[in-house]
Structure 1
């Protein structure tokens, strides 16, 4: 029972911390993270209410009312967060203020303490229906990602993040909806599971990247590269390969921009939007291609030394990048070429 309480409450506690983190980050960098911060906050409030109600049934009815009321903002905040990255921004007041007024009025005229039957039979059902309607409304922002799946295109980190948030909210809604047939605590456990799954997924995807998932390529939105500049970059970009500049283990985006005589910002935008990857990922691909050439032709050197000759600054980064890109270890690749 102690472990059950621990894992149930863990998600809510970390949800509060992440909510605070995104709220602070929003002030500094990205206003849209306010919606994400508030989404995590209302989810955490709903979850912590479930945890304490399950383990301490005598909990104050006022707290129960607050926890249930928080649910009405989950759907709108999910929609507003996903919408905030689109070209056509929704008016957040329309999706927030009416529900806040409604829940305040219900709390005053039909407090949970005195009208538990009405809350259980009507109000809670209405909240979960509204939550589901917003899940349906938010689905349109998943369609471009689904299209990428169908076309077998690589997903951006931001695509993975959006999909994770959407499916996470859907999964938690489903957990609470079927709680009558399973257990009331399933919703809380689901939140913990979903939260950690999303975080681990993004840590894994970003472990070798210089940017974080909420500072994705969307920062270039509405700042398209003009055609003349694009042509100039395309003509010059081959210099990185021709001169093998990537063999320098300390080669940076700034170094590349100076060599190509363009701004660092424009080059970063070109690599992210046109080539569809981060600069560090692109350089790793160049280095792996060089390593493949050396592994095929050089037999008197250790594999580790060939990694350094390819521009990698350590054995571990070489082996990790090579395995990720080719699906084989350097030794396996060299052996396959010698047959």
Structure 2
């Protein structure tokens, strides 16, 4: 290797190494403590595997033919991981993990089937397998950008300020690989790996600066009480309950923090402070508790609506979200709750299913 090639290999390899370490940490150490971190770890791991194999193939082109295909297979999951990272970051408690597992299972089966087809027809491997992987990646990157646009318009503020840098970083890496693959940039493997390393360290700097700024903000209000004063908070809580009972705002599946704050004639910051610091719950949890309470009331009164229809009636926009939220709040399923009210309901529910 020349000195320039050695430096190229060093900077590429160190980026891959750090990406692998961080990806493994987020995937296997933190596990599911925070679901978006799991998908972020999957993004880092798949990109690191792809970039690492690319670097190896660039400097050692005599590697077995199956190795680059493994790198492409890892890249196949980068797009879906980004898509679900965006969704889980915004939806948080409402994120349907079971549906996500099913989707990844289908994608894995699909990749395995395509891989077997190409193995049986090796002539088409180099020509079509890469196109297939990049097409799937392109679709999911576009879906991720669209999801971010939709969720950012629906929510008063982003729940996690790291979402946008992660999205932009993935778009940059995606575009660089797409441009390099067209032949406009000749050094394919090394070029992509250098972009990955640069973006990785740029994100480290962004995360570090955000953490420092957050710490400095937290240190400034030393002499202020986070909670709203007792009597004022009680009045706000009473107003919240009256508003929910009279106008049933929770039945709106698209209700936002800013909408409720406007109804209560207070700022979104004040309402968030009231919910988080005084009541000890998030906005989503607060609204879902009202929805589940009404769902229980309907079940107790012997409603003849189907279980999922009750969920839609009280404000949930999907059956799966209703079921998972009900289980989390009541520690049982809607079906078991209905059966507990009247054994005869079991026969009714079985006929529904």
**1:115-140 superposed Cα distances (whole Å, 9 cap, x missing partner):** 2x422221211211111111111113
* Corresponding residue number in structure 1 for 2:78: 74
Report the alpha carbon displacement of residue 187 of structure 1 after superposing the two structures with TM.
Answer: 1.1
Count of aligned positions: 222
Could you tell me which runs of 5 or more consecutive residues in structure 2 were left unpaired when the two chains were aligned.
217-231, 238-272, 284-353
Report the alpha carbon displacement of residue 26 of structure 1 after superposing the two structures with TM.
Answer: 2.9
* Corresponding residue number in structure 2 for 1:7: 11
Which of 277, 296, 301 matches 1:266?
277
5 Å-filtered alignment, 1:157-306, equals 158-159=160-161, 161-179=162-180, 180-182=183-185, 183-184=187-188, 185-210=190-215, 228-229=233-234, 231=236, 266=277
**What TM-score, normalized to structure 1?**
0.57
**What TM-score, normalized to structure 2?**
0.55
Task: Name the SS for the 2:31 alignment partner.
Answer: helix
Distance 1:268 1:28, change over 3 A: farther
Distance 1:25 1:82, change over 3 A: farther
**1:44-91 superposed Cα distances (whole Å, 9 cap, x missing partner):** 111111111111111121211110111111111111111113145372
Task: Name the SS for the 1:59 alignment partner.
Answer: coil
Distance 1:145 1:106 in 2: 33
Distance 1:133 1:66 in 2: 20
* Corresponding residue number in structure 1 for 2:146: 140
* Corresponding residue number in structure 2 for 1:97: 105
Report the alpha carbon displacement of residue 104 of structure 1 after superposing the two structures with TM.
Answer: 2.1
Say yes or no: does 1:53 pair with 2:60: no
Task: Tell me the C-alpha RMSD between the 2 structures.
Answer: 3.5
Distance 1:18 1:230, change over 3 A: farther
Distance 1:4 1:29, change over 3 A: same
Distance 1:19 1:125 in 2: 26
Distance 1:197 1:142 in 2: 21
Task: Name the SS for the 2:62 alignment partner.
Answer: coil
Task: Name the SS for the 1:44 alignment partner.
Answer: helix
Distance 2:112 2:32 in 1: 32
5 Å-filtered alignment, 1:142-157, equals 142-143=148-149
| Residue pair 1:25, 1:33 contacting (<8 A) in 2 also | no
Distance 1:39 1:82, change over 3 A: same
Say yes or no: does 1:110 pair with 2:121: no
Distance 1:130 1:7, change over 3 A: same
